[in-house]
Structure 1
Amino acid sequence: MAVPPQLKAIQHHLRTAQEHEQRDPVVAYYCRLYAMQTGMKLDSKTPECRKFLVKLMDQLESMKDDLADNESISQEVVGNAHIENYALKMFLYADNEDRAGRFHKNMIKSFYSASLLLEVLSVFGELSEENIQHRKYARWKATYIHNCLKNGETPQAGPMGMDQDGEAGGTSLAESHTTFKGPPTTTNYNNIHIPPGAHAPANTPAEVLPPAAAVKPVPLPRSVPTVDPTLLVAQQQGGVQLSPEDFTKAQKFCKYAGSALQYEDVSTAIQNLQKALKLLTTGKE
């Protein structure tokens, strides 16, 4: 069933869902959930839109039944971590290719898909500032590199200027029209820097890896944050009761820490371990 013109904004999320139908049903489910929620806001009254959204709801209910035993569907915290991990894997792969000056369709699609999946995280609540920046940067990089290659120009590798709205100038990648005339200048753009491996889990999805890719980012010099000594000696006082959700969140933080260590990102690992320790000792994030 074709996407009504009024709901054009969700067509790329639905396409991403279709691409992941067999590859990763959890990604497909949440892409469709995001599309449905967004579509309801865009137009739920026009007959053709209502019909389309009702069909989408039915599809979601069917998927939810099929995936009932999957914790990423039954527990939002686990689902959130699954989508975030997947998006950042794609981001990391594309970022590594970009920094190495290897510009190709696969890395452009990885940047763009990462930006779509980071948008999908909004089904779980407000996006973190970090994910907002990753989303803007990924969308902007995809558009910039796409337009450069279509113009026969060589893109500038690695982090560079981006405007305040996170746009590359020119038209969007989705529209595939090229009016971009070159890399942004420092006069008109602010600088944004995404460190390699920042919060990025290991094992980039196989579908976006080149055959011999085992690219490991070279970590930037960074200062290691001081561990809060009060957390190291903290005791559960006043009979702190932890809920199952608290344990799931603590597991998520530990998982992020382990992923960060795969990329020698000590700072991120410590931050997530501190969050887990604080949650387990105080019952608060």
Structure 2
Amino acid sequence: MASDQVLPPLPQQFKLIQHHMRTAQEHEKRDPVVAYFCRLYAMQTGMKIDSKTPECRKFLVKLMDQLEIMKKQLGDNESITQDVVGNAHIENYAYKMFLYADTEDRAGRFHKNMIKSFYTASLLYDVLTVFGELTEENIQHRKYAKWKAAYIHNCLKNGETPSSGPLGMETEFENEDDVSLPQSSDSNNLVADMPSSDLSNIQTPTADHPPSNFSTIQIPPGAHAPANTPAEVPSTSVLPSTPTIQPGPQNIPIIDPSLYSIASQGEMHLTPEDYARAQKYCKYAGSALQYEDVGTAVENLQKALKLLTTGRE
């Protein structure tokens, strides 16, 4: 296992990636794909920070070796071999962590595991940059998750009751650089004090739409997380809560009859990118079915069928 390869101590210059490395370690067995891309992000970021200082270079070389071992071990996993699938895997995982934390927040259930879910989601949105520029939605998710993790952590630390949702943050939420996560020992305790066991039996929210009054953040449609993505168990000691938000009725889209006739008009000449995008839609559809979300499954399957039969989305 990659975790058996002992890395040198993290150089002080790489403090910025310490929690991405910790997240990789926590997901070593729970979700190796997440662990792999967290380390890949850490290596790419570390190279930009300092690749010449002896201790930094030594760390990066060992990290590269670790990544090579993982890549061989996961060689038959499409999330590793195909960027589109890997991007969808990390995005879905981050989305599930984000939605779980946001639902807990809006229900007034403030606890360490909810903070960690916000915190981890923000780190995973960082990791998504290994695939290219973030979408506007993911940029907003990352900003909001960072803000919430720091805000709720500080409130609980000071014995204060946090406010649910984005209320009171609109004027503060203009620049991501202004959002600071807990630092030093507080930041370490934030992560270290929380359980990291695989708790995949925990029921997480299945709503496709964001909670009410979620004015500044938009959740991308159809971005379902795999069912085996572990969530953190809520603390048994929580503040008084409001009712949990329930998912609304499913809207199943009508199947376009023209898609069936198009398929018989001749063979399409598709590019590798077309096939990759079609796989992404099928992956979203499969994840949606795990949540019994027929509407989103049908919608994504129709997108895949249209792409495969017309070459257009």
Count of matched residue pairs: 268
Work out the CA distance in 2 between the residues paired with 1:203 and 1:134.
21
**Equivalence for 1:192:** 216
Check conservation: 1:198, 1:265, Cα contact below 8 A: no
**Equivalence for 2:68:** 61
Gaps of 5+ in 2: 1-7, 188-214, 237-242
Alignment of 1:96-111 (within 5 A): 96-111=103-118
Alignment of 1:88-237 (within 5 A): 88-160=95-167, 161-162=169-170, 163-166=173-176, 171-175=180-184, 176=186, 192-194=216-218, 199-201=223-225, 203=227, 205-210=229-234, 217-219=245-247, 232=259, 235=262
Instruction: Select the residue among 252, 256, 261 that pairs with 2:284.
Output: 256
- The structure-2 alpha-carbon separation of the partners of 1:244 and 1:216, relative to structure 1 and needing over 3 Å to count, comes to farther
Counterpart amino acid of 2:155? Answer: C
Work out the CA distance in 2 between the residues paired with 1:70 and 1:18.
19
Gaps of 5+ in 1: 178-190
Tell me how far 1:205 sits from its aligned partner.
3.2
Once the two structures are overlaid, the 10-residue window that deviates more, 52-61 or 150-159, is: 150-159
**Equivalence for 2:3:** none
- The structure-2 alpha-carbon separation of the partners of 1:218 and 1:204, relative to structure 1 and needing over 3 Å to count, comes to farther
Work out the CA distance in 1 between the residues paired with 2:84 and 2:257.
27
Q: Residues 186-209 of structure 1: CA distance to partner in whole angstroms, max 9, x if unpaired?
A: xxxxx6134698734363733513
SS of structure 2 residue aligned to 1:2: coil
Work out the CA distance in 2 between the residues paired with 1:41 and 1:55.
16
**Equivalence for 1:42:** 49
Q: Residues 52-79 of structure 1: CA distance to partner in whole angstroms, max 9, x if unpaired?
A: 1111111111111122122221222222
User: Over the residues paired in the alignment, what is the CA RMSD in angstroms?
Assistant: 3.5
TM-score computed with the length of structure 2 as normaliser: 0.72
Tell me how far 1:251 sits from its aligned partner.
2.8
Once the two structures are overlaid, the 10-residue window that deviates more, 233-242 or 252-261, is: 233-242
Report % sequence identity. 63
Tell me how far 1:12 sits from its aligned partner.
0.9
Work out the CA distance in 1 between the residues paired with 2:160 and 2:178.
15
Check conservation: 1:93, 1:209, Cα contact below 8 A: no
**Equivalence for 1:186:** none
Work out the CA distance in 2 between the residues paired with 1:149 and 1:225.
42
Q: Select the structure with the greater relative contact order (CA < 8 A; seq sep ≥ 6).
A: 2
Match status 1:246 vs 2:274 = yes
Counterpart amino acid of 2:262? Answer: Q
- The structure-2 alpha-carbon separation of the partners of 1:125 and 1:282, relative to structure 1 and needing over 3 Å to count, comes to farther
Check conservation: 1:34, 1:120, Cα contact below 8 A: yes
Work out the CA distance in 2 between the residues paired with 1:277 and 1:111.
35
